[in-house]
Every structure is written in C-alpha cells, then in structure tokens.
C-alpha cells in the first residue's frame, strides 16, 4: 500500500471505520485482480489528490471570463483560481490532441453521457434524424438506444458492420443518402478496429450532416498518434471521457469547431448541467499535463502492442475474435465462434470468482439478450498501467481460454483454485494500483 493510500484510509477511518473497511477491501480487490475491463484504468495520485481536495465544494456556475465565446464570467465570486485552472485545462487538452486553431474545448461535462447529451443539444432538435452505429455492433447507449435519452429524443437510423465485424461504409453512405440525417455519430465502446473518421467526414459532407465523433475509448490512442485523429478529419464535435485510455479521473470533455463554441458551452451550462465539478476540472488539468508527456505516449504504444500480442495468443489458442483481431486497446471474443456455446454473463461471473475482471458484450448478430450476450470484451489499458507486458497478457489469454473451455465442459469448479493460483502469480510481480 502506498503512503498516500494509507493516509486516505486513516483519514476516512477517523470518521467512518465502516466505509474505511470497505475501501480497504476494495483496494485489496483491485490489487489481486487482473483488470481487463476496456473502459477502466488507474489514475495518478496527483489527480486523486486534486479530486479529493478543497476544490470539491466551490460553486463556479458559468465559464471563466474572456473565454473566446464572450463569456462574462461566473455567477458567483471567489473563482479566480478556478478560472485559471479551467482555462489551462482547456488549452492543455487542445495541445495534447494536437488540435488546430479552429477547435474549442469544454472540460465541464461530468461524464461521457452528459457530454454527448450536451453535444446533441447544441446542434439537434428533438425529432431530428440522426445516423448512428447499431448498438449490437459496439456503439454506446447514448448513440440511440431506445432506453436512453438519445433513442427517445431523436429519430434514429443505424448503420451496421459487415460479416467480418468491420464498419460497413457502404451501408453508412446508403443510409445517410436515404435518411438525410442532421448528424452522423461515429465512435464506439466495443469496436476493435480503426474508426475511419475521414470517410465519415466525406459522407457527412455529402449529405450536409454534422459529424460527431465520440472518441471515449480511443482518445488516448489519438493523443499518442496510434489512431487517426478526428481533429485532422475535421469533425464538427468530438466528445470523450477522460478515464478510459486517457487514464485521468472519471469525467469527460467536448471539443468543437469554434463556430459551435457558444452553442456547446451553453448546452453544457446552463443547458444540461449546473455548477461543474471543479475538483474534477483540477484533476483534468493534471491529466492533460500527463497526456502531453512522452511517458504517456509510450504507455499507449505499449497498450496497443500488448493488445496485439494478446489477440495473437487468443488466435493461436483457437479462440475467435470479432473482426479476427484488433487495431486498438481492446478485443472481443465471440464465444460461439470459439466453440463455447455459453453466455458472456457466465464467463464474466466465473472469471470474477478467480480474480479476472472483464465484461460480457454483444457480438454482431447477437442472439442473446444484452444481459446475457454471446461475447466478452477485453482491454489492455489498465494492466499496462500496472506494468503488464506482452508475456503477461499472453499468460492471461491462456487462463481466460482455459476457463472458457472448462466452463463449456462443465469442469470450471474443479479447476477454479488452479486458475486463482495462476492469476496470483501474475499479479504478484506487477505494480500496485496507482
Ligand atoms: C464510456 C462511453 C461513454 C459514456 O461515458 P460515461 O462516463 O459512462 O457516461 C460514451 N460514449 C462512449 C463511446 C463510451 O465508451
């Protein structure tokens, strides 16, 4: 346990031994677990400290004064240091992404879903036509799911992937020409290949649609140059979470062309949020500094190399992946195609019991419900932060494969102890959780 973790636990325990105990147990869980959830990561102690600081209770409704949108400043007083840090965070994130002069940044969204809500509010009216990726093909709930505001507010059309699992650009173009959407959304939560932003830009231009790129998962790869940039492609709006491959605190941001800046800013506040979480804005400023550094870029190169190594291991072991592999930080195992007719839920629960955390995931042409699914999603970002290398990920692929096969053969329970031992060997020699 680090000095800082000890300090946090002792401080919490002075008030609430109950909560401190749960926090201690959670820290232990994190230490002993091989964390393969593609949307999670571990942030730095500096960001944790800023997030847990006296910036947590200040109201700063509004924006720093002299923002390029002509903001007149905040509603409340006492915000001078918040103004400085928020402006710094915006400027640093634009720098991290290598964004051109024509882009604007808003670091106030509390999470990815509210960033997308504000992005849509800025350029769409309820009932407008929107073209987005099919949820079973890897899109996010906020890309038009019927249970989400996006599916309820907008008239959605969905493009799909081809039989290999790649985005079908012919389908995107045909549907765009047929439905004439006001906006096209691209970006995904469970897609292992490159998102062709340039091609989407062309199609959006052809039909006069806004191009909204939700880069929540791959934003770290974009910063490091390991994925094409939506800024270079000229996207109108780019949203991202800050806590996935960007490895900062839980939160989100929106970038947009400067002509949309005023609309985006007012869609965030007062459109959809009240006072922003300034402790998280402080953490985001630190995250931006880290993302500008060479160590971060090397980390992302390692994440991608490790994912490729792991996909290679799964392939050698005879496991089938959607699209047959990966270009980024995640891969999707197709269980049925791997010869295991079991649900993703069953695999997730079984692996949880042997200290491997991953999540069930739909596969293209999914036959089970989203609560069961026929696939699992695996990401290499968190364990790369903890120092896992290609060999560790290949050893992990072997455990996951053995576990899936034993589940299919009904021998998992007999082998659970063996699996726990193999996981413990791998986690014993890696770094702590920050
Ligand atoms: C994670 C994610 C989001 C939402 O993020 P939350 O912070 O959980 O609301 C939005 N879009 C995509 C593509 C994501 O992967």
User: What pLDDT, on the 0 to 100 scale, is given for residue 327?
Assistant: 98
- Check: CB of residue 34 under 8 Å from CB of residue 396: yes
Q: Above 90 in pLDDT, residue 83?
A: yes
Could you tell me what percent of the chain has a pLDDT over 70? Answer: 100
User: What pLDDT, on the 0 to 100 scale, is given for residue 163?
Assistant: 87
Measure the CA–CA gap between 434 and 414, rounded to whole angstroms: 34
Share the mean pLDDT of the chain.
Answer: 96
**Model pLDDT for residues 85-120, shown as the tens digit of each residue:** 999 999 999 999 999 999 999 999 999 999 999 999
**Band of the pLDDT at 176, cuts 50, 70, 90?**
very high
Q: Above 90 in pLDDT, residue 306?
A: yes
Measure the CA–CA gap between 62 and 73, rounded to whole angstroms: 6
Measure the CA–CA gap between 209 and 2, rounded to whole angstroms: 50
Residue 59, token pair as written in the block: 């109201």
- Most distant CA pair in the chain: distance in Å? 67
| Exposure of 125 in the CB half-sphere (CA atoms within 13 A) | 1
- Check: CB of residue 186 under 8 Å from CB of residue 214: yes
- State the average pLDDT over residues 146-152: 97
Q: Catalytic: which of 244, 247, 257, 422?
A: 244
Give me the torsion for CA of 132, 371, 116, 267, rounded to 10°: 120
Sign of CA dihedral 333, 334, 337, 341: positive
Measure the CA–CA gap between 289 and 222, rounded to whole angstroms: 16
User: What pLDDT, on the 0 to 100 scale, is given for residue 54?
Assistant: 97
- Check: CB of residue 276 under 8 Å from CB of residue 238: no
Residue 426, token pair as written in the block: 């791998």
User: Does the annotation mark 244 as catalytic?
Assistant: yes
Ranges assigned E (strand) in 251-358: 252-257, 330-334, 356-357
Q: Long-range contacts of range 146-155, CB-CB < 8 Å, 24 or more positions apart?
A: 148/113, 149/117, 150/116, 150/117, 150/120, 153/120, 153/124, 153/126, 153/127, 154/120, 154/124, 154/126, 154/127, 154/128, 154/129, 154/130, 155/127, 155/128, 155/129, 155/130
Residue 98, token pair as written in the block: 């290598």
User: What pLDDT, on the 0 to 100 scale, is given for residue 422?
Assistant: 98
Nearest atom in ligand 1 to 39's CA:
1
On the 0-12 / 13-18 / 19+ scale of CB atoms within 10 A, 341 is exposed
Measure the CA–CA gap between 173 and 184, rounded to whole angstroms: 10
Sign of CA dihedral 15, 18, 20, 21: positive
- State the average pLDDT over residues 238-243: 98
Q: Above 90 in pLDDT, residue 72?
A: no
**Band of the pLDDT at 418, cuts 50, 70, 90?**
very high
Q: Is the peptide bond before 395 cis (omega within 30 degrees of 0)?
A: no
User: Does the annotation mark 341 as catalytic?
Assistant: no
Q: Above 90 in pLDDT, residue 136?
A: no
User: What pLDDT, on the 0 to 100 scale, is given for residue 7?
Assistant: 97
User: What pLDDT, on the 0 to 100 scale, is given for residue 410?
Assistant: 95
User: What pLDDT, on the 0 to 100 scale, is given for residue 384?
Assistant: 98
Q: Above 90 in pLDDT, residue 372?
A: yes
User: What pLDDT, on the 0 to 100 scale, is given for residue 20?
Assistant: 98
Q: Above 90 in pLDDT, residue 364?
A: no
Query: Going by DSSP bridges, is the β-strand pair 252-257/237-241 parallel, antiparallel, or unpaired?
Result: antiparallel
User: What pLDDT, on the 0 to 100 scale, is given for residue 153?
Assistant: 98
Question: For residue 133, how far is its CA from the centre of ligand 1 (angstroms)?
Answer: 14
Question: For residue 114, how far is its CA from the centre of ligand 1 (angstroms)?
Answer: 9
Question: For residue 354, how far is its CA from the centre of ligand 1 (angstroms)?
Answer: 27
- State the average pLDDT over residues 218-239: 98
pTM of the predicted model, to two decimals?
Answer: 0.97
Measure the CA–CA gap between 199 and 205, rounded to whole angstroms: 10
**Model pLDDT for residues 279-294, shown as the tens digit of each residue:** 999 999 999 999 999 9
Ligand 1 pocket residue status of 113, Cβ below 6 Å: yes
Ligand 1 pocket residue status of 150, Cβ below 6 Å: no
SS3 assignment, position 65: coil
User: What pLDDT, on the 0 to 100 scale, is given for residue 57?
Assistant: 95
- The DSSP string of 115-153 is HHHHHHHHH--TT-EEEEE-GGGT--GGGT-TTSHHHHH
Measure the CA–CA gap between 379 and 76, rounded to whole angstroms: 42
Q: Catalytic: which of 161, 240, 241, 384?
A: 241
**Model pLDDT for residues 307-352, shown as the tens digit of each residue:** 999 999 999 999 999 999 999 999 999 999 999 999 999 999 999 9
Q: Catalytic: which of 24, 173, 202, 250?
A: 250
**Band of the pLDDT at 71, cuts 50, 70, 90?**
confident
- State the average pLDDT over residues 123-137: 95
Measure the CA–CA gap between 323 and 271, rounded to whole angstroms: 39
Measure the CA–CA gap between 10 and 391, rounded to whole angstroms: 37
Sign of CA dihedral 22, 27, 32, 34: positive
Residue 62, token pair as written in the block: 């509004």
- Check: CB of residue 99 under 8 Å from CB of residue 231: yes
Measure the CA–CA gap between 198 and 195, rounded to whole angstroms: 9
């Amino acid at each position: 346990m680090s000095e800082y973790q000890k300090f946090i636990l002792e401080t919490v325990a002075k008030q609430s031994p109950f909560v401190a105990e749960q926090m201690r147990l959670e820290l232990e869980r994190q230490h002993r677990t091989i964390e393969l959830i593609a949307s999670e990561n571990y942030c730095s102690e500096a960001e944790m400290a800023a997030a847990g600081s006296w910036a947590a209770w200040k109201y700063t409704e509004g924006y720093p004064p002299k923002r390029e949108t002509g903001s007149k400043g905040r509603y409340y007083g006492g915000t001078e240091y918040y103004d400085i840090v928020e402006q710094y965070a915006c400027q640093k994130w634009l720098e991290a992404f290598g964004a051109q002069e024509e882009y604007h940044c808003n670091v106030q969204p509390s999470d990815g879903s509210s960033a997308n809500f504000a992005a849509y509010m800025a350029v769409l009216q309820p009932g407008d036509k929107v073209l987005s990726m099919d949820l079973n093909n890897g899109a996010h709930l906020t890309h038009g799911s019927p249970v989400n505001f996006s599916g309820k507010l907008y008239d959605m059309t969905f493009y799909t992937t081809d039989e290999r699992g790649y985005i079908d650009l012919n389908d995107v173009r045909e549907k765009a020409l047929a439905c004439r959407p006001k906006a096209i959304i691209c970006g995904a939560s469970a897609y292992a290949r490159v998102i062709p932003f340039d091609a989407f830009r062309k199609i959006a231009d052809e039909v006069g649609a806004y191009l909204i790129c939700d880069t929540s998962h791959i934003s770290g790869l974009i910063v490091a140059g390991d994925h094409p940039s939506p800024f270079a492609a000229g996207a109108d709006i780019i949203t991202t979470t800050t806590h996935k491959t960007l490895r900062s605190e839980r939160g989100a941001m929106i970038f947009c062309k400067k002509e949309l800046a005023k609309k985006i800013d007012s869609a965030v506040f007062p459109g959809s949020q009240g006072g922003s979480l300034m402790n998280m804005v402080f953490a985001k400023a630190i995250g931006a500094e880290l993302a500008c550094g060479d160590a971060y870029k090397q980390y992302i190169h390692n994440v991608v190399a490790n994912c490729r190594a792991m996909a290679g291991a799964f392939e050698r072991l005879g496991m089938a992946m959607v699209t047959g592999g990966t270009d980024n930080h995640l891969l999707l195992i197709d269980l049925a195609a791997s010869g295991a007719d079991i649900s993703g839920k069953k695999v997730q629960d079984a692996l949880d019991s042997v200290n491997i955390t991953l999540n069930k995931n739909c596969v293209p042409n999914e036959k089970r419900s989203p609560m069961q699914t026929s696939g699992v999603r695996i990401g290499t970002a968190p364990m790369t932060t903890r120092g896992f290398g290609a060999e560790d990920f290949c050893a992990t692929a072997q455990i996951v494969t053995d576990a899936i096969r034993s589940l299919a053969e009904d021998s998992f329970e007999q082998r659970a102890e063996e699996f726990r031992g193999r996981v413990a060997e791998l986690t014993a020699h890696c770094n702590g959780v920050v």
